[in-house]
Structure 1
Amino acid sequence: MKISARNQISGTIVSITPGAVNGSIKVDIGGGNVVTANITEEAIADLALATGDTVTVLIKASDVLIGK
Structure 2
Amino acid sequence: MKLSARNQLKGTIVAIHPGAVNAIVIMELAGGEQITSTLSMGSLKDLELEVGKEVYAVIKASSVMIGVDD
Tell me the TM-score normalized by structure 1.
0.88
Question: Cα RMSD between the aligned structures?
Answer: 1.3
**What CA distance in whole angstroms lies between the structure 2 residues aligned with 1:67 and 1:20?**
33
Task: Structure 2 unaligned segments of length 5 or more: list them.
Answer: none
**What CA distance in whole angstroms lies between the structure 2 residues aligned with 1:58 and 1:33?**
15
Q: Which amino acid aligns with 1:57?
A: A
Offset at 1:20? 1.6
**What CA distance in whole angstroms lies between the structure 1 residues aligned with 2:66 and 2:26?**
19
Q: Which has the larger radius of gyration?
A: 2
Task: Structure 1 unaligned segments of length 5 or more: list them.
Answer: none
**What CA distance in whole angstroms lies between the structure 1 residues aligned with 2:43 and 2:31?**
27
Q: Which residue of 1 aligns with 2:5?
A: 5
Q: Which runs of 4+ in 1 moved over 4 A?
A: none
Q: 1:45 is paired with a residue of what secondary structure?
A: helix
Q: 2:62 is paired with a residue of what secondary structure?
A: coil
Q: 1:36-55, aligned counterparts within 5 Å? A: 36-55=36-55
Tell me the TM-score normalized by structure 2.
0.86
Instruction: Give the paired residue count.
Output: 68
